[in-house]
Amino acid sequence: MSEEKPVAPTSEEVPGASGPQKRPQSILFACSMNTVRSPMAEAMARHLFGREIYIASAGVRGGEPDGFAVAAMDEIGIDMSRHRPHTFEDLEDSGFDMIVTLSPEAHHRALEFTRTMAVDVVYWPTMDPTAVQGARENILEAYRGVRDGLQKKIKDLLDWRPMGGL
């Protein structure tokens, strides 16, 4: 199976935006504990865009690494095993062009964090798969759903196209 690599788009306008809007050069993904949703989004965006865009993630509160998130990302060839959760306070840099929030709690924190900055804060309501109970396969399926939904939104937001795509 060949790995898809991004191709630099001919235009850096963000699709779906009202009027021309440049692709952000730095993005922070934020959720409640930086253990599932935001690190999945961070790993996915880094995989797709490499060093073309600065990508980071943070949580409102700290948490512990999540094995189901690691397993779901591993299924698509992205290693998230070295991710260590951290909070907004742990960020070394706060100069982001865009913050994508994935939980209501993170959205409120991001608005507070950026109240004196010119930063786009975008809310992508994203289910918390840790709430799913039952058999391991049912739980993993919830994580896959989050992963696949984030992947589509990231590709759409940043106008990603596989190599050879015109």
Q: Are 25 and 53 in contact (CB under 8 A)?
A: yes
Q: For the residues 74-84, what does the mean pLDDT come to?
A: 96
Collect all residues with Cβ–Cβ distance below 8 Å to 63 and sequence separation of at least 6.
32, 33, 34, 35, 85
Residue 105: is its pLDDT beyond 80? yes
Q: Looking at residue 152, what is its pLDDT?
A: 96
Are 16 and 153 a contacting pair, CB within 8 Å? no
In which band, very low, low, confident or very high, does the pLDDT at 161 lie, cut at 50, 70 and 90? Answer: low
Q: What tens digit of pLDDT does each residue of 130-146 get? A: 999 999 999 999 999 99
Pairing label, strands 26-31, 98-101 = parallel
Domain chopping of the chain, boundaries: 26-158
Per CATH, domain 26-158 is 3.40.50.300: no
- pLDDT tens figures, 2-18: 444 443 343 344 444 44
End-to-end CA distance of the chain: 21
Query: What is the pLDDT averaged over residues 16-29?
Result: 70
pTM: 0.83
Give, for 99, the enclosing helix (H) or strand (E): strand 98-101
